[in-house]
């Protein structure tokens, strides 16, 4: 009696699905340059479709690479309790892994909340356990971006560095997104507008706040009340309580992220304000929290998944060509209009 065996998909299977040669598939999977980007994407889709899994041990012998990269989250300690709960970090992981998985590249998560943890990250990369790193740095004074640039491994940074550094990065035009929020609130007829910012030691928070204030100034609003939050729903609730106590007549609000907007909505409604009739609210991110709001939140879309996939592409290019010049990629935000404003 014959037993049927499950046979793993081969390079030939991928080549047939993609309509290219076996050699082309091999070049794409091994990260070799000089393959047309459209062909690379076709091969990646074929890899996913047939379920091909590269032999990492064999590839490592050929390429001298580990087939793994690190995702390093570095910064102030209070962020670390949120890494596994904040929608932002989940979207980063989703965007990176979605690009890497078809290529058989593995992702290693590393948290660097203090000096000893940062030293461990640097040693881990120097010892060649991974081929490079994507770094998410959560505050302006974080020394790790400069330390990694100095130590030399391929690194790509999420968001523009707070200080000029020779490092590739991917970001969104935060100020432009804040201007979209300001213009929308003005177009709705809001006259007494306030804002809840993110932590002021985070460059993105400062850009959103300054961009919003500048746009409102162009509309003739010289003073915009502001309270600092820390990107959590709870901080949005606390900030909104302060704003309503100090400025009870506000009719428009821009929150620096969706979680803070969600908290602000809850407090506004607990004070009897109707959204958007009495108070129009705009957030920033277009995360899952925006749809959880009641009413659903108008927000500036932060294309985190697309940005994370682009970071993966940039990092793989730097791994393949260590002399490649550093690059910046800036995504444009969009305003997603729902019922809150």
Query: DSSP string of 144-156?
Result: HHHHHHHH---EE
Q: What does the buried/exposed string (b/e) look like for 24-42 if buried means 16 or more CB atoms within 10 Å of the residue's CB?
A: bbbbbbbbeeeeeeebbeb
25 with 49, same domain: the answer is yes
Does residue 186 lie within any of the structural domains? yes
The answer to whether the beta carbons of residues 67 and 30 sit under 8 Å apart is no
Per-residue confidence (pLDDT) for residue 3, from 0 to 100: 42
- The pLDDT confidence band at residue 201, using thresholds 50, 70 and 90, is confident
Does residue 61 lie within any of the structural domains? no
44 with 112, same domain: the answer is no
Task: Say which residue, 138 or 253, is predicted with more confidence.
Answer: 253
- State the average pLDDT over residues 194-204: 92
Does residue 130 lie within any of the structural domains? yes
Does residue 341 lie within any of the structural domains? no
pLDDT at position 137 over 90: no
197 with 289, same domain: the answer is yes
State the pairing for strand pair 155-158/133-137. Answer: parallel
246 with 130, same domain: the answer is no
Q: Which domain holds residue 161?
A: 68-172+305-332
Per-residue confidence (pLDDT) for residue 82, from 0 to 100: 64
Query: How many domains are there within the chain?
Result: 3
Can you tell me the distance from the alpha carbon of 251 to that of 113, in angstroms, rounded to the nearest whole number? 39
Give the mean pLDDT of the chain. 88
- The pLDDT confidence band at residue 286, using thresholds 50, 70 and 90, is very high
- Report the range of poorest mean pLDDT among 102-106, 242-246, 313-317, 334-338: 102-106
Distances (CA, A) of 289 to 3, 202, 220, 293: 51, 21, 32, 6
Does residue 62 lie within any of the structural domains? no
- State the average pLDDT over residues 229-251: 95
pLDDT at position 200 over 70: yes
134 with 203, same domain: the answer is no
CATH number for 147: 3.40.50.2300
Single out the residue of 157, 79, 92 nearest to residue 304, CA to CA.
Answer: 92
273 with 157, same domain: the answer is no
Task: Say which residue, 253 or 84, is predicted with more confidence.
Answer: 253
CATH number for 13: 1.10.260.40
268 with 203, same domain: the answer is yes
Can you tell me the distance from the alpha carbon of 101 to that of 29, in angstroms, rounded to the nearest whole number? 11
- State the average pLDDT over residues 240-246: 96
- State the average pLDDT over residues 260-270: 96
156 with 207, same domain: the answer is no
The answer to whether the beta carbons of residues 309 and 99 sit under 8 Å apart is yes
Query: Tokens 């006259």 appear where?
Result: 191
Task: Say which residue, 172 or 67, is predicted with more confidence.
Answer: 172
- The pLDDT confidence band at residue 77, using thresholds 50, 70 and 90, is low
User: Could you write out the DSSP letters of every residue in 6-47?
Assistant: -----HHHHHHHHTS-HHHHHHHHTT-S-S-HHHHHHHHHHH
Does residue 339 lie within any of the structural domains? no
168 with 178, same domain: the answer is no
Task: Say which residue, 137 or 78, is predicted with more confidence.
Answer: 137
């Amino acid at each position: 009696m014959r037993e049927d065996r499950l046979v793993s998909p081969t390079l030939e299977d991928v080549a047939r699905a993609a309509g290219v040669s076996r050699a082309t598939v091999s070049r794409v999977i091994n990260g070799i340059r000089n393959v047309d980007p459209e062909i690379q994407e076709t091969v990646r889709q074929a890899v996913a479709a047939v379920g091909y899994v590269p032999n990492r041990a064999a590839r490592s012998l050929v390429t001298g690479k580990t087939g793994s990269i690190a995702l390093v989250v570095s910064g102030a300690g209070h962020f670390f309790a949120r890494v596994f709960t904040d929608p932002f970090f989940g979207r980063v992981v989703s965007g990176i892994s979605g690009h890497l998985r078809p290529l058989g590249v593995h992702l290693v998560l590393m948290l660097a909340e203090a000096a000893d943890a940062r030293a461990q990250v640097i040693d881990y990369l120097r010892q060649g356990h991974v081929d490079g790193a994507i770094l998410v740095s959560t505050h302006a004074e974080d020394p790790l971006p400069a330390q990694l640039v100095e130590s030399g491994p391929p690194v790509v940074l999420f968001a523009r560095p707070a200080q000029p550094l020779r490092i590739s990065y991917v970001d969104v035009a935060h100020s432009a997104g804040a201007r979209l929020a300001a213009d929308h609130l003005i177009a709705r007829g809001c006259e007494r507008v306030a804002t809840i910012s993110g932590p002021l030691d985070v460059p993105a928070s400062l850009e959103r706040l300054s961009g919003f204030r500048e746009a409102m100034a162009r509309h003739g609003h010289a003073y915009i009340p502001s309270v600092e939050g820390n990107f959590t729903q709870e901080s949005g609730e606390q900030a909104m309580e302060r704003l309503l106590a100090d400025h009870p007549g506000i009719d428009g609000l821009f929150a620096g992220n969706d979680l803070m907007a969600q908290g602000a909505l809850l407090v506004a409604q607990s004070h009897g304000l109707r959204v958007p009739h009495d108070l129009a609210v705009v957030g920033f991110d277009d995360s899952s929290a925006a749809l959880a709001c009641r009413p659903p939140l108008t927000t500036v879309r932060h294309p985190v998944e697309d940005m994370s996939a682009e970071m993966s592409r940039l990092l793989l290019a730097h791994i393949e060509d260590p002399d490649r010049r550093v690059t910046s990629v800036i995504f444009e935000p969009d305003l997603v209009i729902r019922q809150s404003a």
